[in-house]
Chain A
Amino acid sequence: MLEVQDLTVTFHTGRGTVTALHGVDLTLPTGRVTGLVGESGCGKTVTALAVMRLLRPPGEIRGGRVLLGGQNLLALSEREMDRVRGARIAMIFQQPRASLNPVFPVAAQLTHVLRLHRGLSGRAAWAEGEALLARAQLPRPERVMRAYPHQLSGGMCQRVMIALALACRPSVLLADEPTTALDVTVQLQIIELLKSLQQELGLTVLLITHDLGLVAEMCDFVSVMYAGRIVEAAPVSALFRRPLHPYTRGLMASRMRAGSRALPAGIPGRIPDLHQMPAGCPFHPRCPLAQGLCAERDASPETVDGGDPAASGAARMVRCHFWGRGVA
């Protein structure tokens, strides 16, 4: 299990310091897929990078804990962290081609991580590399090993990234919009691949996306993020059946539905500028339920009984003063 507790991240900019993550709590149950959804710029990627300790200045982790098997990753030295990255937690990125070094063949990094984390020597590392590429369903892995990123398609690059990420048998995989940059047909293939690998290896996955369809398809649990805060967390079935937070309801209403002629309803307004965060609940300027209290004070996370026997009584969290109103 990977647990993120009260994670706070700030960025120093020319216009002052902004808080990108506001005490984020996130639980990734072992062997399950947890989705993290929200609009662009709400802090999804920053969360994943902070967990990996990959934030570079001006980003800075200001507080919180990231617990992997009871160990706080934020307290590790950089050298200790290098033994966690790739080996126990791996990450794949939104831009698969840009994530591969253009002047090195695939084999260079693949054999490097296998030597580094698994102690394989030259020939064994090469053979294992080919096996990993084959497992990521790349045709003719012996040729892909010698290929440079520009000779591969976007989908192939993402398969290579998946092979690299899983090379050293991590237990946790952070997938940051792994299909956003790919063609629709390729997206499906990559999702199928991730699903089958997740089940086969019992991976604990954090899937960052803004595609609610993908969440419904792949995830067991989902956390909804808005302006650097988790506003709702629930089992997927419960969330889709009965979204509690007005923001989540807005997201649901803005989906395109097959077979429906109604246009999706957008959420009015836009995400707040981090430099000028509204007082109180950051969503209140856009919220249909907002009242005077919302502008004064942010709600604290509230644990709610799902009230839903199908969700096996799993607790869910919502962060809204008035979530009870307007819920069907």
Chain B
Amino acid sequence: MTLVTFVLTRVLPGSPIDQIASPMSTPAQRHALMVHYGLDRPLWEQYATYILGIGRGDLGTSFTTSQPVARDLERFFPATLELTTAAIVIATVIGVPLGLCGAVRRGSWVDHLVRIVAVVGVALPIFWLSLVLIYLMFYRWHLLPAPIGRLSPRITPPRVITGLLLIDSLLGRDGVAFADAAGHLLLPVTVLAFAAVAPLARITRTSTLDVLSSPHVQATRALGIPWRSIVWKYAFRNAMLPVLTMLAIVYGFLLGGSVLVETLFAWPGLGRYAFNAISGNDYPAVQGFILYATLIYIAIFILVDVLYAVLDPRVQT
């Protein structure tokens, strides 16, 4: 994993020195910079140094921010966490009931709506939706604050406790900051949630339909248990298992999608950090981001596995 990232970043055209050094610098100055960052060493040696550093929790120093990458990631992570978590929560709250209704009332208008949402959600590009929403909600109708960052400049940020502005402002009983943070979150979260609703609604619908036509649902009906209790007491739990897996996949997708959304909304999160790092050939930052994203991904899948073990008795713990 680290090796692939390492090689990939090096293979990309361009040199970080171009970004760091001023256009006026002499070749000698450029070489001094190369030596300073260890870029004159053979690749295998650079890699070994990097791996040894990871062991100590040192992800290297960013060329662009001149900060340790580990600290950068820690600093930008809460913004992304807040964005993607809010998006996945909203997508779940909308998508899962939509899929359930579509399956239970198969062929009804809800069902058609689910299928339309599934197609539209996949077809509308995130950047296009973002721009349209920014244009309407901010520029035309002035309903929301400027789509820059997480808080308006005039607002005093709440004391950092979790790094999540909504929670920190609530803990600090700061209604103004909460409202402003929520206003800033609304658009990017809407855009991300919109993309996530489609797969969630679709998998919920499919898996619910599967379960409702299964032999055990038929056998339960044969016992005279009313359809309503079958759906909500029994089938719901069966149907949620594939949805859980899909949630993890979608969450990973949102982490990726946040790169685009964070760039568009000037959101100081991991996605924008990664974008800047890639465009600046900032090797340590790119490597650090990918490592971090991988770890988050793994953590989510472990969490899903644990939930599976709780929900599905067939999974041995």
On A, residues with C-beta under 8 Å from B are 49, 52, 54, 56, 78-79, 82-87, 90-91, 93, 95, 98-105, 109, 112-113, 116-117, 148, 150, 161, 164-165, 167-168
Indicate if the CB atoms of A148 and B223 lie closer than 8 Å. no
* A103-B238, A103-B312, A150-B313 known; A85-B221 Cβ under 8 A: yes
Per-position binary interface string of chain B over residues 205-227, scored 1 when its CB falls under 8 Å from any chain A CB and 0 otherwise: 00000000111111111111111
Q: Does B75 contact A (CB under 8 A)?
A: no
- The contact of B222 among A79, A83, A90, A150, by CB within 8 Å, is A90
Q: List 11 A-B contacts (CB under 8 A).
A: A56-B213, A85-B221, A86-B225, A95-B215, A98-B216, A103-B237, A104-B234, A104-B237, A109-B225, A148-B314, A168-B223
Indicate if the CB atoms of A83 and B216 lie closer than 8 Å. no
Indicate if the CB atoms of A113 and B221 lie closer than 8 Å. no
- Which residues of chain A have C-beta atoms less than 8 A from B241's C-beta? 103
Majority SS of interface residues in chain B? helix
- Which residues of chain A have C-beta atoms less than 8 A from B225's C-beta? 82, 86, 109, 112-113, 116
Indicate if the CB atoms of A116 and B224 lie closer than 8 Å. yes
Q: Does B34 contact A (CB under 8 A)?
A: no
- Which residues of chain B have C-beta atoms less than 8 A from A95's C-beta? 215
* A101-B234, A103-B237 known; A84-B224 Cβ under 8 A: yes
* A79-B226, A103-B311, A103-B313 known; A93-B220 Cβ under 8 A: no
Indicate if the CB atoms of A164 and B223 lie closer than 8 Å. yes
CA distance A214 to B288 in the complex (A): 70
Indicate if the CB atoms of B224 and A99 lie closer than 8 Å. no
Indicate if the CB atoms of B216 and A99 lie closer than 8 Å. yes
Indicate if the CB atoms of A109 and B218 lie closer than 8 Å. no
CA distance A207 to B225 in the complex (A): 23
* A54-B218, A95-B215, A150-B314 known; A101-B224 Cβ under 8 A: no
- Which residues of chain B have C-beta atoms less than 8 A from A101's C-beta? 216-217, 220, 234, 238
CA distance A98 to B213 in the complex (A): 12
Given contacts A87-B224, A168-B224, 16 further A-B contacts (CB under 8 A): A52-B222, A82-B226, A85-B223, A90-B223, A93-B222, A101-B216, A103-B238, A103-B313, A104-B237, A109-B223, A109-B225, A117-B224, A148-B314, A161-B219, A164-B219, A164-B223
Q: What residue of chain A has the Cβ atom nearest to residue B212's Cβ? A: A56
Q: How far, in Å, is A164 (CB) from chain B's closest CB?
A: 6
Indicate if the CB atoms of A148 and B313 lie closer than 8 Å. yes
Per-position binary interface string of chain B over residues 174-207, scored 1 when its CB falls under 8 Å from any chain A CB and 0 otherwise: 0000000000000000000000000000000000
Q: Which are the 8 A-B pairs with shortest beta-carbon distances?
A: A86-B224, A85-B224, A99-B219, A86-B223, A98-B215, A148-B313, A91-B222, A101-B216
Indicate if the CB atoms of A83 and B224 lie closer than 8 Å. yes
Indicate if the CB atoms of A82 and B234 lie closer than 8 Å. no
Q: How far, in Å, is A244 (CB) from chain B's closest CB?
A: 34
* A103-B238, A148-B313 known; A113-B219 Cβ under 8 A: no
CA distance A302 to B213 in the complex (A): 39
- Which residues of chain A have C-beta atoms less than 8 A from B229's C-beta? 112
CA distance A167 to B222 in the complex (A): 12
CA distance A109 to B241 in the complex (A): 20
Q: How far, in Å, is A172 (CB) from chain B's closest CB?
A: 12
- Which residues of chain A have C-beta atoms less than 8 A from B238's C-beta? 101-103
CA distance A79 to B226 in the complex (A): 7
